[in-house]
Structure 1
Amino acid sequence: MDGFSVRLNRILRPDTGRSLVVAIDHGMALGPMTGLKNVGETVSRLDATGLVDAWLVTKGIYRYAFEPVNKPGIILRISGGATISGPELTREGQTATLEDALAAGADAIATSAFIGSPYEHDTLTGLARAASECRKWNMPLLGVVGLGKINEDQKKDPRFIALGARVAAEHGADLVKTYYTEEGFEQVVAGCPVPILIAGGPKCETDLDTLKMIAGALNGGAKGIVMGRNVWQSPHPEALLAAVHGLIHRGFSVQEANDLLEDGINRG
């Protein structure tokens, strides 16, 4: 095994080829928010379950608020530089380096590409440059596919989502985080030569909706999920995490996962 394989095996579990990633990088653009006001507390609470395969973090949170007891994989986000109070949230640039990631002991880095936005070119070429640097050091790269200000039909169109996933892989991503589409998600997976992890997306109305979304993605060929607010804004995050783990790594049906969720809620 080379360094790339060693690192990737800390993101995608070798026995299932899948991953349950928890993202806590939202504060870089959104500031303190429900579920992440005390990031260290959130990390401690979810890490204690032993069910998180990897965390997506920024360099500031990693340095000052990230102290897991277990030994999860680490994906360090290296792009950012825009907030919801600024003129354009998609205007991201490099905010950390590969050297930062190596010094931190990260297992992968993540950078965004915003398809259909005014900064599509800048973010895609930034992803490509990061991929070239990663090749030198056998560091896996997660391409985080974001969308510009497009219409709702495009967001649900598997052809458009497939475009973004394929483009990220073409520019050098080893893993792609993108959106799940209820219809035609198999097209998205079939058109992308690297593993796809779905984005948790906006907060689902219920935990059951979250489970259904993840099950649909797995059935369509996704290799897991990068979860954010749907887990740490859930009223029962530990129970939900166990249910999601059951879907991803134990082959549970939605009903079995929901039963586990309800059992965890009742016992909690």
Structure 2
Amino acid sequence: MAYAGKLLRLSRFRYRGSQRGLIVPIDHGLTLGPVDGLVSVARIGAWLTHHGVTGIIAHKGLIERLASRNMLGRLGVMMHLNGMSSLASKPDTKQLLTRVDTAVRLGVDGVSVQLNYDGDNDPHNMQLLGAVVDEAQRFGLPVLTMLYDKVESADPRARIARLRHLMRISIELGSDALKLAAPSNPDELPLILDGLCEDIPIFFAGGSLSSDEQLLSMTRLAATHGASGLCMGRNVFQRESADLLLDRLSRILRGRRHETAPVALVDELDVA
């Protein structure tokens, strides 16, 4: 029964009739403070109801405030369980800040954790993820792991192999979905996804503010090679108006034929 519950709850983060979705994380405030776009709950409402957004990820306090204003509506909601301020001496070691049973009381559809691997905190990260998965399993809640490798490598093959190892660890410990940073070299994206996207839904982050065409091109490539969508924050909530971009991204992720065409052709079709 718990397995059926996880499948049902994960489906709330996807478009109807599709295996893909566009989730907007808004957990940045705990790490970075009142960043542009997340200074107040009211400003979040500018994009929250857009049909292209399938879900959000937020800390418990923000979820309560959004719910109290009836702003969550049809969205899938994940509660983020861990974090650390950028003011701390070890900001990459994210501590558990709340529990899965709190997420259950809030009525959310899933929980998430962020694991930044810096080369020294592997035991902490693996123990945290294992414990969260065990607790979430009791309630039939899916766990999304935001996975970031902070160990730099000049060798692309070694860097990709290391990331894929960390992805495999998350699968072995029971994660139900992954969020990854999009590679700076798009050619690496199929190598990262190869095989692993058959075992777990993989969403890509948008990173820092990018042009529409950069995001559209990355999304087409990711969707073509088996990704489950986007988990993108700043490229939504820090845009003056995200409506057009969300329209186009959602067409790609829903699988509409003309949005999976090459960039130049898509532009011609959009103008027509």
TM bracket (short chain): 0.7 to 0.9
Tell me, what secondary structure is at the counterpart of 2:141? coil
Corresponding residue number in structure 2 for 1:183? 187
Corresponding residue number in structure 2 for 1:266? none
Tell me, what secondary structure is at the counterpart of 1:246? helix
Partner Cα distance (1:34, 1:155) in 2: 36
Corresponding residue number in structure 2 for 1:113? 115
Partner Cα distance (1:138, 1:179) in 2: 27
Corresponding residue number in structure 2 for 1:161? 163
Corresponding residue number in structure 2 for 1:122? 124
TM alignment of 1:54-69, pairs within 5 A: 54-66=55-67, 67-68=70-71
Pair 1:216–1:104, CA change in 2 (3 A): same
Partner Cα distance (1:259, 1:58) in 2: 41
Partner residue of 1:72 out of 64, 72, 75: 75
Corresponding residue number in structure 2 for 1:236? 241
Partner Cα distance (2:232, 2:9) in 1: 20
Pair 1:69–1:85, CA change in 2 (3 A): closer
Give, as a single letter, the amino acid of the residue that structure 2 aligns with 1:58. H
**8 Å contact kept, 2:117–2:151:** no
**Percent same amino acid at aligned positions?**
23
Partner Cα distance (1:155, 1:102) in 2: 41
Pair 1:75–1:179, CA change in 2 (3 A): same
**8 Å contact kept, 1:180–1:217:** no
Give, as a single letter, the amino acid of the residue that structure 2 aligns with 1:127. L
Partner residue of 1:143 out of 142, 145, 164: 145
Pair 1:220–1:84, CA change in 2 (3 A): same
Give, as a single letter, the amino acid of the residue that structure 2 aligns with 1:198. F
Question: Residues 75-102 of structure 1, C-alpha deviation per residue, up to 9 Å, x if partnerless?
Answer: 110011x222221211111111111111
In the alignment, structure 2 segments of 5+ residues that lack a partner are none
The structure with higher relative contact order (CA 8 Å, sep 6+) is 2
Aligned residues: CA RMSD: 2.5
Corresponding residue number in structure 2 for 1:6? 8
> Normalised by the size of structure 2, how large is the TM-score?
0.86
Partner Cα distance (1:3, 1:163) in 2: 28
Give, as a single letter, the amino acid of the residue that structure 2 aligns with 1:245. S
Partner Cα distance (1:101, 1:146) in 2: 24
Pair 1:152–1:62, CA change in 2 (3 A): farther
Corresponding residue number in structure 2 for 1:22? 24
Partner Cα distance (2:243, 2:22) in 1: 13
> Normalised by the size of structure 1, how large is the TM-score?
0.87
Question: Residues 56-92 of structure 1, C-alpha deviation per residue, up to 9 Å, x if partnerless?
Answer: 1111111124542531000110011x22222121111
Question: Residues 102-140 of structure 1, C-alpha deviation per residue, up to 9 Å, x if partnerless?
Answer: 111111100122234322220121011111111111110
Corresponding residue number in structure 2 for 1:48? 49
**8 Å contact kept, 1:179–1:198:** yes
Give, as a single letter, the amino acid of the residue that structure 1 aligns with 2:144. L
State the aligned residue count. 260
Partner residue of 1:200 out of 156, 181, 206: 206
Partner Cα distance (1:199, 1:69) in 2: 21
Tell me, what secondary structure is at the counterpart of 2:187? coil
Question: Residues 196-228 of structure 1, C-alpha deviation per residue, up to 9 Å, x if partnerless?
Answer: 111222222x12111112222112211101011
In the alignment, structure 1 segments of 5+ residues that lack a partner are 264-268
Corresponding residue number in structure 2 for 1:99? 101
Corresponding residue number in structure 1 for 2:228? 223
Question: Residues 13-57 of structure 1, C-alpha deviation per residue, up to 9 Å, x if partnerless?
Answer: 451111110111111100111121123322x11123222111011
